[in-house]
Copies of this chain bind each other. A is one copy, B any other.
Amino acid sequence: MIYKNYPMVSRVIFGRGSFNQLDEILASKRKGRNAPFIFYVDDVFKGNHWLTSRIPLSYKDKIIYIPTEEEPKTSQIDKLVEDIILEFSELPSGIIGIGGGIVMDIAKAVSLMLTNPGESKDYQGWDLIKNPAIYHVGVPTISGTGAEVSRTTILTGPDRKLGINSDYTPFDQVVLDPELTKGVPKDQWFYTGMDCFVHCVESLDGTFLNAFSQSYGEKAFELCKEIFLSDTLTEEESQDKLMMASWHGGMSIAYSQVGVAHAMSYGLSYLLGIKHGIGNCIVFDHLEEYYPEGVAMFKQMKEKHNIELPQGICAELHDDQIDIMVNVALSLEPLWENALGKNWKTKITREKLTTLYKKM
């Protein structure tokens, strides 16, 4: 058996207000006045002085606001890279992503594509990246995706939704400041938190699990239970703990994989542009058969927080549209193998997936 040699985030700072230390952190990484820091920032923060006034800008540094209605596309990455190359005479000193999974994945992908030739779609897959990325920093402002700690950056390309998985993908620096999550709307808080919860259920229930991933997954799962089902936490404690749940949940994927919910959610996302967090929730809600305890707990959480999920989103779809989603879902072979074992092809059929999608 060959084990993965997992690349970790090089540095992590944790604490309420630690975002104030970004200036000092970046100072030692500046390569010169013509090598700017590029800050990709979730455009929900446009005009939010509390956050933006603390982004340390010098010389040619630049803030670029990122709309987050849609998940990142390979064409978007290629355009952002081209913009940087056209505007600046030198490669950036660093790329900083301040936002959720979308913005962090954009920061990771751009930092990789600045040093690797060609188009980003050519690198969707495993270990296709040849050159180290530009120095890149992740600053999550919402918790749950695990993008801050993972070795992938998930992109929708012309052919598929698939990550650029590589040893160079993880951030060189992560700033975990739970205070930055204070303004997250409740629905979004829930959907993104559930991304972590579903990660953990799928990882802990999977066939790939070992003691490394299990220990991280169990901790993240416990934290999610405490955050979403208990009444004992203050708002600040809940923010702190969800940030750690996301971190551990992301780490649990190191020697594991997600499963049925993620595979099917990718289908929804590819065809209908449904975002990952809510997509996972819509799918997971119908997966009692695969994850009975996890789904029961999810329904409790949903009820406790009065979350109403969209219903009937696939009701009007034609068969060929359903087929596209089934194709996308089935193409994610490692997820199915993790969920159902080596013989997964005998255990899941197109008909079964079609039936499930039609319930959503």
On A, residues with C-beta under 8 Å from B are 1-15, 17-18, 21, 25, 173, 176, 178, 210-212, 214-216, 218-219, 222-223, 237, 240-241, 243-245, 248, 254-255
Q: Are A8 and B5 in contact (CB under 8 A)?
A: no
Q: Are A8 and B12 in contact (CB under 8 A)?
A: yes
Q: Are B12 and A211 in contact (CB under 8 A)?
A: no
Taking CB as reference atom, which chain B residue is nearest A3?
B15
Residues of chain B within 8 A of A12, CB atoms compared: 5-6, 8
Taking CB as reference atom, which chain B residue is nearest A13?
B5
Q: Are B218 and A14 in contact (CB under 8 A)?
A: no
Q: Are A211 and B244 in contact (CB under 8 A)?
A: yes
Given contacts A18-B3, A21-B2, A215-B223, contact A240 B210 (CB under 8 A): yes
Given contacts A15-B212, A176-B212, A211-B237, 16 further A-B contacts (CB under 8 A): A2-B21, A3-B14, A5-B11, A6-B11, A6-B12, A7-B11, A8-B8, A8-B11, A8-B12, A14-B211, A14-B254, A15-B210, A211-B240, A214-B244, A215-B248, A218-B219
Taking CB as reference atom, which chain B residue is nearest A218?
B219
Alpha-carbon gap, A216 to B223, bound state (A) = 11
- Provide a sorted-by-A list of 11 A–B residue pairs whose CB atoms are within 8 angstroms: A3-B14, A6-B13, A7-B11, A8-B8, A14-B210, A14-B211, A15-B212, A211-B240, A215-B241, A218-B222, A219-B248
Residues of chain B within 8 A of A218, CB atoms compared: 219, 222
Alpha-carbon gap, A274 to B4, bound state (A) = 38
Given contacts A219-B215, A237-B211, A244-B215, contact A1 B13 (CB under 8 A): no
Q: Are B13 and A10 in contact (CB under 8 A)?
A: no
Residues of chain B within 8 A of A212, CB atoms compared: 14-15, 176, 244
Q: Which of A4, A9, A211 counts the most B-chain CB atoms under 10 A from its CB? A: A211
Residues of chain B within 8 A of A211, CB atoms compared: 14, 178, 237, 240-241, 243-244
Q: Are B4 and A13 in contact (CB under 8 A)?
A: yes
Q: Are A9 and B11 in contact (CB under 8 A)?
A: no
In the A-B complex, the 8 residue pairs with the smallest Cβ-Cβ separation, listed nearest first, are A211-B240, A3-B15, A14-B212, A215-B244, A219-B219, A5-B13, A3-B18, A8-B8
Residues of chain B within 8 A of A21, CB atoms compared: 2-3, 5
Alpha-carbon gap, A3 to B173, bound state (A) = 14
Residues of chain B within 8 A of A244, CB atoms compared: 211-212, 214-215
CB distance from A291 to the nearest CB of B (A): 22
Q: Are B14 and A1 in contact (CB under 8 A)?
A: no
Q: Which of A178, A210, A218 counts the most B-chain CB atoms under 10 A from its CB? A: A210
Taking CB as reference atom, which chain B residue is nearest A212?
B14
CB distance from A214 to the nearest CB of B (A): 8
Q: Are A3 and B13 in contact (CB under 8 A)?
A: yes
Alpha-carbon gap, A196 to B233, bound state (A) = 27
